[in-house]
Amino acid sequence: MSEKYFLKHIDRPESNTLAFYLQQGGYRTWKRVLQEKSPEQIIEEVKRSGLRGRGGAGFPTGLKWSFVPRQSASPKYLVCNADESEPGTFKDRYLIEREPHLLLEGMAMAAYAIDSRQAFIYIRGEFAYGAQTLERAIHEATEAGLLGKNIQASGYDLQITVHRGAGAYICGEETGLLESLEGKRGWPRLKPPFPATKGAFGCPTVVNNVETLVNLPVILSLGADRYAAIGSNEKNTGPKLYCLSGHVNRPGLYEFPLGKNLQELIYQEAGGIRKGKKLKAVIPGGSSVPVLRADEIDVAMDFDALVSRGSMLGSAGVIVMDEDTCMVKALLNLATFYSHESCGQCTPCREGTMWMKKILSRIEHGQGRPEDLPLLEDIARHIQGRTICPLGDAAAMPAASFLKQFRQEFIEHIEQKKCPHSK
């Protein structure tokens, strides 16, 4: 059993109170850091820890922070991305509802490192309970002098504000998020400029995922070296949450070092496939990443190993599909999601996602044509890499991979003029 950092208190419903958190030694590291470390030292330490962002792209966190200008006349902002809406992903929600102080402590460290005095938590609108929990935790921590003005007599101020979204997946994309935070439509921005130089309200901004931020107290209490020893290699370090859903016996949230073997995760930890069925496919990193066939899952769940396997770690939302799953229907489901969530700015994403959905719906309902398959591939190819934000890619990649990995199923639908799985 590897040590747990995030799910340690999963059996303790009171884990979200300050009293409980303090009792477990919480905020001790924050106080020490505030006294002993300069922002530069924290950034250095985080760089050495090898921490990569848990929001999906795996960008090195310390490096991201170092892009924020040291000297800046305008304020700087830290934004915690708590919009968690990726299908198959439910890790941030747990952290918010059950470990809010761990998140606040991590945010305090990140904010201090980039010299931000105002931080925001952009939380998905549906997380009403989470937002309440965070508000209460912020209140508690501020009352206790751990946040707010002149924290621990250090001269450093930090205010954390919770901002609730209105239920759009695209507001999880960091620049769509910033637009929404500013009160505008959640339309992702053209980059450059990147948020580090021009983010919220035109000021330098760091956007980090919830899970990224909760790693900071771990890094700063263990020290970079001990932290970096966790994980599969020096490029994939630290503890990691995995969300298992679909046709497994024990779906749910799991914590292991980064690089846990996917096959072990499914068969040993999650108890294998339901009802003794055979595995057909796994989407390892949330709905946006390419799908793996059952024979491809002996792979480490880390950023690089999955890329070599043709997929991605993404949000580590592992979606498991058994032999009875209709892959056309599964892809139709994804296409419906992306066409619904496209913000509509970019032509290929706005038009292409809906077109793909319509074609897939036809195929699923027995009206497919042989030429639909190359057409779908063409549409996906014409979306990919040609949009403002990665949602376009996220819609295109699964389509391309489903068609490649499970082409025979699509052909069967077309030849039999019906879904072979439907009764």
Ligand X SMILES: Cc1cc2nc3c(=O)[nH]c(=O)nc-3n(C[C@H](O)[C@H](O)[C@H](O)COP(=O)(O)O)c2cc1C
**Binding residues for ligand SF4 (CB under 6 A):** 170, 188, 342-346, 349-350, 387-389, 391-392
Question: Closer CB to ligand SF4, residue 177 or residue 258?
Answer: 177
Rounded least distance, CB 423 to ligand X, Å? 35
Measured from the Cβ of residue 185, the count of other Cβ atoms closer than 10 Å reads: 13
| Cβ proximity of 239 and 247 under 8 Å | no
Measured from the Cβ of residue 182, the count of other Cβ atoms closer than 10 Å reads: 11
Which option in ligand X, another protein, ligand SF4, none does residue 378 bind, with CB closer than 5 to 8 A by kind?
another protein
Rounded least distance, CB 151 to another protein, Å? 40
Nearest to 242 by CA among 12, 88, 397: 88
- Which amino acid, residue 338? Y
Question: Closer CB to ligand SF4, residue 64 or residue 189?
Answer: 189
CA distance linking residue 8 with residue 6, whole number of Å: 6
Rounded least distance, CB 211 to ligand SF4, Å? 23
Reading the block at residue 290, the tokens are: 């390419």
DSSP 8-state code for residue 303: H
CA distance linking residue 178 with residue 161, whole number of Å: 14
CA distance linking residue 174 with residue 160, whole number of Å: 18
- Cβ-in-10-Å burial (0-12, 13-18, 19+) of 49 comes to buried
- Phi/psi of residue 279, nearest 5 degrees: -80, 140
Site for another protein in 366-395 (CB under 8 A): 375, 378, 382, 385-388
Rounded least distance, CB 80 to ligand X, Å? 8
| By CB under 8 A, residue 347 contacts another protein | yes
Which option in another protein, ligand SF4, ligand X, none does residue 55 bind, with CB closer than 5 to 8 A by kind?
ligand X
Rounded least distance, CB 287 to ligand X, Å? 10
Nearest residue to ligand SF4 by CB is 349
Question: Closer CB to ligand SF4, residue 252 or residue 344?
Answer: 344
CA distances from 208 to 65, 192, 217, 252 (A): 10, 18, 14, 24
Which option in ligand SF4, ligand X, another protein, none does residue 414 bind, with CB closer than 5 to 8 A by kind?
none
Site for another protein in 152-211 (CB under 8 A): 168, 185, 190
Which option in ligand SF4, ligand X, another protein, none does residue 172 bind, with CB closer than 5 to 8 A by kind?
ligand X
Rounded least distance, CB 158 to ligand X, Å? 19
Question: Closer CB to ligand X, residue 62 or residue 368?
Answer: 62
CA-CA-CA-CA torsion sign (54, 57, 59, 61) = negative
Binding another protein (rule: CB under 8 A), the pick from 70, 340, 404, 407 is 340
| Cβ proximity of 129 and 209 under 8 Å | no
CA distance linking residue 128 with residue 143, whole number of Å: 23
Q: Which residues pair with 384 in a beta bridge?
A: none
Site for another protein in 282-311 (CB under 8 A): none
**Prior bond of 193 cis (ω within 30°):** yes
Question: Closer CB to ligand SF4, residue 101 or residue 357?
Answer: 357
Question: Closer CB to ligand X, residue 16 or residue 205?
Answer: 205
Half-sphere exposure of residue 67: CA atoms within 13 angstroms, side-chain side: 18
Q: Given the rule CB under 6 A, which residues bind ligand X?
A: 53-57, 59, 64, 81, 83-86, 169-170, 172-174, 207-209, 212, 389-391, 394
Question: Closer CB to another protein, residue 63 or residue 354?
Answer: 354
Which option in another protein, ligand SF4, ligand X, none does residue 87 bind, with CB closer than 5 to 8 A by kind?
none
Which option in another protein, ligand X, ligand SF4, none does residue 83 bind, with CB closer than 5 to 8 A by kind?
ligand X
The continuous run of DSSP H or E covering 256 comes out as: strand 252-257
CA distance linking residue 303 with residue 258, whole number of Å: 9
Question: Closer CB to another protein, residue 168 or residue 281?
Answer: 168
CA distance linking residue 250 with residue 331, whole number of Å: 24
Residues near another protein, by CB under 8 A? 168, 185, 190, 339-355, 358-359, 362, 375, 378, 382, 385-388
